[in-house]
Amino acid sequence: MKHFTLLVLILLTSFGLTHAVDLPLDFESGTYDITDFDGGVLTIIDNPQSGGINTSTKVGQMVKNEGETWGGSYITLDNPIDFSNGKTFKMKIYSPRVDVKVLLKVENLDDSGTAFEKEVSTTVANEWEELTFDYGFIDDTKSYQKVVLIFDNGTAGDGSANFTFLIDDIRLVDENSGLEDLRNSNNLGSVSASSSEDYLKRNEIAVAFKSSLSLVGNRSIGFDVSMSTRTVP
């Protein structure tokens, strides 16, 4: 009996059935924990539109049927999403229409109120494209383990080809969104002199800061100097 159990375990492992489902989601192997809601139906199928940027074997197919206008599906991952190496989601999509709104949301395993979402629109029809979702402002101190997808949120589906979408390769990348730079821009104290270039930058900032201080402290002198410089030919 022990030998039999061991054999089953070895077989399960070798066939990939115990493969954990986490990002990136490529639908090639593993058992996906999919939950459909309010008209959305997500299934894993052989790629019917192999070509362009996606010649992989398996894809996700989302059909939005009649139901609620927010109908969609979510995939429950085996582990919380790790945002430490990037906060930009990429997802390949094959849409029958341009300007289809694609909502990508992440949710906490138990508390749907702990969530973050971004919505972007498709730009091409009947060919694969890769959409980008900027998650720069997500609170990554919280835990998120569900990936929720809603197409054309606010519009009821009809289950037709017009509401049939293919998805693939949902992944996180480290792409500078500019949001972190913006967040740090009012914290000049964080500028360090790790290289000569940084040192020069820091000096420039210090000089500019001193100049603005002296201008405030001697406003009339600063003003006169400025005026004389401008008026003397």
Task: Name every residue whose Cβ is closer than 8 Å to that of residue 117 and which is 6 or more positions away in sequence.
Answer: 103, 104, 105, 106, 148
Residues binding Ca ion: number (CB under 5 A) = 5
What is the per-residue DSSP string for 94-106?
Answer: E-SSSS-EEEEEE
75 or 138: whose CB is closer to Ca ion? 75
Binding window for Ca ion (CB under 5 A); candidates: 13-21, 23-31, 76-84, 91-99: 23-31
Binders in 175-214 for Ca ion, by CB under 5 A = none
CB of 26 to Ca ion, least distance (A): 4
Please list, residue by residue across 4-20, b when 16 or more beta carbons sit within 10 angstroms of its beta carbon and e when fewer do. Answer: eeeeeeeeeeeeeeeee
CB of 14 to Ca ion, least distance (A): 21
Q: Choose, by CB under 5 A, the member of 26, 39, 88, 138 that binds Ca ion.
A: 26
Q: Is 92 in the site for Ca ion (CB under 5 A)?
A: no
What is the per-residue DSSP string for 9-77?
Answer: HHHHHHTTTT----SSB--SSS--EEEEETTEEEEEEE-TT-BTTB--SEEEEEEE-SS-TT-EEEEE-
Q: Choose, by CB under 5 A, the member of 165, 168, 170, 172 that binds Ca ion.
A: 168
Binding pattern for the stretch 55-84 against Ca ion, x by CB under 5 A and - elsewhere: -x-x--------------------------
Give phi and psi for 135, each to the nearest 5.
-105, 25
CB of 24 to Ca ion, least distance (A): 9
Q: Which residues bind Ca ion (CB under 5 A)?
A: 26-27, 56, 58, 168
